[in-house]
């Protein structure tokens, strides 16, 4: 089971990977560093031509280069192959407008990144517990 982490900040990427490891979440993590790369992974386009991935969950930052996180979410929700994938917005944004838009477009969850590593590690533990162990994923027949 793969986790797609869409994160352009190398420090936040390292922090997330460290928190996953600290919580014994051993799933393969594919990192996309901008919105275009995330869509290439999901749809098997660009450098990923013919090799799409279907992650267990997408951890999506909002402030991304090339294509922002909200537009990535729009495209994920508008495609029959990916519309049911769990998408957790994982961002430092506390703007009400971002939360509203994210949920309106179809985010499953909106988590603000805590600044403190201990809090962040706990947030990642809870995300992993819920999205990787407890959540019942949609049937793959509907997806790919």
- Is 143 domain-assigned? no
144: pLDDT strictly greater than 50: no
From residue 105, alpha-carbon distances to 11, 69, 83, 108 in Å are: 28, 11, 11, 10
72: pLDDT strictly greater than 90: yes
Average pLDDT over residues 81-95: 91
Distance CA 56, CA 140 (A): 11
- Is 72 domain-assigned? yes
Per-residue confidence (pLDDT) for residue 87, from 0 to 100: 96
- Is 28 domain-assigned? yes
- Is 138 domain-assigned? no
Q: What is the pLDDT of residues 103-141, one digit of tens each?
A: 999 999 999 887 788 888 888 888 888 888 888 877 654
SS3 sequence of the chain: CEEEEECCCHHHHHHHHHHHHHCCCCCEEEEECCHHHHHHHHHCCHHHCCCCCCCCEEEECCCCCCCCHHHHHHHHHHCCCCCCCCEEEEECCCCHHHHHHHHHHCCCEEEECCCCHHHHHHHHHHHHHHHHHHCCCCCHHHHC
- Is 116 domain-assigned? yes
Per-residue b/e over 52-74, b at no fewer than 16 CB within 10 Å?
ebbbbbbbbbbebeebebbbbbe
Q: What is the pLDDT of residues 11-66, one digit of tens each?
A: 999 989 998 998 888 899 999 999 999 999 999 998 888 888 899 999 999 999 99
- Is 141 domain-assigned? no
**CATH at 111:** 3.40.50.2300
- The domain of 18 spans 2-131
- Is 136 domain-assigned? no
When divided into structural domains, the chain yields a total of 1
- Is 144 domain-assigned? no
Per-residue confidence (pLDDT) for residue 51, from 0 to 100: 84
Q: What is the mean pLDDT of the chain?
A: 90
Distance CA 42, CA 106 (A): 17
């Amino acid at each position: 089971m793969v986790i797609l982490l869409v994160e352009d900040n190398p420090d936040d990427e390292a922090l997330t990977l460290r928190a996953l490891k600290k919580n014994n979440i051993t799933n393969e993590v594919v990192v996309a560093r901008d919105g275009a790369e995330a869509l290439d992974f999901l749809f098997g386009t660009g450098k990923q031509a013919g090799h799409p991935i279907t992650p267990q969950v997408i951890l999506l930052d909002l402030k991304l280069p090339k294509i922002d996180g909200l537009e990535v979410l729009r495209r994920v929700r508008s495609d029959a192959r990916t519309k049911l994938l769990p998408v957790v917005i994982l961002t430092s944004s506390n703007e009400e407008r971002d939360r509203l838009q994210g949920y309106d477009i179809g985010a499953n969850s909106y988590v603000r990144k805590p600044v403190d590593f201990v809090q962040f590690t706990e947030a990642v533990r809870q995300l992993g517990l819920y999205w990787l162990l407890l959540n019942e994923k949609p049937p793959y027949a509907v997806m790919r």
